[in-house]
Chain A
């Protein structure tokens, strides 16, 4: 279809902000899946008569951090508006939201595509609002839980710059990662704290006018986002090819059937009767406050990836993997700071450490492993004090106990055996115990050298210095040949 139609996709992302309290009242923000219904509510977030909102300053700061991270201009003069609509999960009958003057505008985010190129996606607006409650429909009636009502919510809207499911996924992944870096959102799509809604349309190539767009909902994973978007593009192309018309509507994604379905036709644009919230005076964000927020931004994933590639010579795959999670990246940075060698540290982290963590179902923040300890382990290997096999065992032990590698090695007698006399004795014993392989070796099957080395390593529980064993074994076997030949 791509030869005939151009996809035009914009993404709206709703992200709950991980503040302690709600947007306009003092209620705690709780895990809305785990907390008992209606236990984190008060008269304000229940919309009771005479109750008034007070802006949560922390939520504004979180919003500002996100807007800055997405390269937005920050609005100094912020107005909250009432967005009016009826639904029982919306206690006041209106949602307090930003309308005309959102906190962030004219931003952008670069995404990396699988062909190695980078694409810049425009961010139209970032605005603050409050979340609604949650309705559950049962046979005997509908139940509503207001724990989520009034939780600070950020809406991030792109320009219609996205052209495929892959781009949509890359963008959403980057947003999620950025929000997690900023510590403002857990990124847990299953729990609905991050909700992604693409607007999707297609138009004939070369056409300037936009086609009729649909809004896609209930996407609970990035895969659903990519697949749902691609499915929708194909569906719309088929409709147009068949001489039909795309209808403006909201469509849902069926995760098991892997197709979209019509949820609700939009006969006309909804009229939310926005007007400035009279209960909240304009919120003025002065330049000094913006400066303070900018100064508290962490190094963002793009910058980290670039630094890992350019300064440390890591591959793009390694750089991306290390920068993926802020805790890992900062752990890595700390290890570098402790004198670690980037390339080899990256290997240790991405292979051995990640494997050990995965096996245990833990993250780097869960284990008592100090970055400097891994650096020490790395240098013990480099110096030949221990071999790699031992080092892996030591690392596992370090993860459990938090003890430093030298202590573990000394306590367990795990130091590498490089004592030549001791190794000669072991090699000789192995040769004596295995006359058959010796005969074969002497008979010309010299590849059996490796087998002898292996036996020695086994006998020393892997602690023998392999290079030395190799050299001794070859020498002693050849000496047998000389003896046999004389």
Chain B
């Protein structure tokens, strides 16, 4: 048995049957990280010691007859999710060396479920970016072509799962930061409904948009993790107190009679022909599986990008005000108290500074109504678009991103072009919907393409089942992309 090639759910079965151990699976991952991550750069921190301890404990619990949903399964965390006992940097120099004294809610849930934490994966600084190039530490590479980006901001988690450096991983999705890198790296990634997963202990970027999601090689892998991390947390006042369904049990493989809407605004000029073609084929496949395909319209789609950047940046401008070097993180040496704060905040990278300034401007007296206030109004219209559409369809199918993975450096000096990578993902964050990306083929350069499936509020089980049914009908090549060993320059 090649333990590396197993999916998360397959590994779980192998562990249950006693065919392998958590220590073996964990060591295999750690060895592979050592072998390949010099070229991939997906991890910022490898928690080797912690992982092996957790794996040993998991094997002991297993031997004692225990079984929990992720007992002994090695998983990676985006480095914006706090894990006590390891640094959390959010990809920023301003949190260099910060060791949170608390676990995020999702980490506690994973640990209770018996998961093994392999380490913390790279992210654009404070999740602001679409390529991990905004990370203050490294740029993660796409396992399918290490000259290319893995997408972002959860690019480290997506790349690690795609390359077989973790069986699953958590990321955060504020404007597409799970779905877009999942699409670029050829894995499945879900962004649950806002409030489905607690944000407690997740470094905030934009509080009304942030949500933790999971990555896996299959929809079932994603479902298994989501079942563990979803649920009410009284410490997050925006967390929904609604029972969590069994997402794995919902994977019936039957989507007959499901009404799937295809929004015309998501097939516009600028979308790469290979992407459009692959997504259209996938939609035909869904029709062949018994779904009814309906053309729909989400008329305010084009406003998603400006509305998103105004709201996310406005919230970020406040969320990032706490990084002043007074209580945690590095502190610069200034002439006096105020100068110290000013110089410490110079540790933010250029994209973060750009968004803080944009957000502060949008909120400032005299501009609030014109920018932030108006963005809130248009957000309501976008939300209404989805609500109305979901009166007549069950699921929306669309491309995840208009393009496949771009080259490192290609868009870094062109923020607007970079933002365009998210135009199909960010309207969802402005609404009360959930969405995922599932691989639907490769373009002519051999780069993965993602099919985005969007569900109504709390319809995660439904979109996971569509993705699962599609996977069953169109099995992917199970081979992992060939990542060259050796350091990336």
Contact = CB atoms under 8 A, between A and B. Distances in A.
A47 B90 CA distance: 16
A47 B327 contact: yes
A50 B78 CA distance: 13
A273 B364 contact: yes
Interface string A71-82: 000000000001
Interface stretch (A28-36, A275-283, A475-483): A275-283
A52 B200 contact: yes
Contacts of A273: 317-318, 360, 363-365, 368
B290 interface: no
B207 A278 contact: yes
Interface string A262-306: 000000010101110011110000000000000000000000000
B328 interface: yes
Contacts, number: 105
B123 to A, nearest CB: 13
B237 interface: yes
Contacts of B315: 275, 278
A280 B239 CA distance: 10
B101 A49 contact: no
B174 to A, nearest CB: 12
Interface stretch (A62-70, A88-96, A380-388): A88-96
Given A86-B341, A271-B365, A278-B208, A92 B95 contact: no
B372 interface: yes
B237 A280 contact: yes
B100 interface: yes
Interface in A17-47: 43, 46-47
A43 B337 CA distance: 22
Interface residues of A, number: 32
A268 to B, nearest CB: 9
A238 interface: no
Contacts of B368: 273, 275
Contacts of B236: 52, 279
A79 to B, nearest CB: 13
A49 B98 contact: yes
Given A52-B237, A273-B360, A279-B237, A47 B365 contact: no
Nearest to A88: B326
A84 interface: yes
A142 interface: yes
B326 A144 contact: yes
B204 A50 contact: yes
B321 A54 contact: no
Given A86-B321, A88-B324, A273-B364, A49 B237 contact: no
Interface in B309-368: 314-315, 317-318, 320-322, 324, 326-328, 337, 341, 360, 363-365, 368
A109 interface: no
A472 interface: no
Contacts of B365: 269, 271, 273
A409 interface: no
Given A54-B235, A280-B237, A142 B318 contact: no
B199 interface: yes
A50 B104 contact: yes
A48 interface: yes
A421 B55 CA distance: 103
Contacts of B20: none
B204 A82 contact: no
B322 A91 contact: yes
A142 B199 CA distance: 33
Interface string B86-113: 0010100001001011101000000000
List the 4 shortest-distance A-B pairs measured between CB atoms, nearest first.
A93-B321, A278-B208, A273-B363, A278-B207
16 contacts: A48-B328, A50-B200, A50-B204, A51-B200, A52-B199, A52-B235, A52-B236, A53-B237, A54-B234, A84-B318, A92-B322, A93-B321, A269-B365, A271-B364, A278-B206, A279-B238
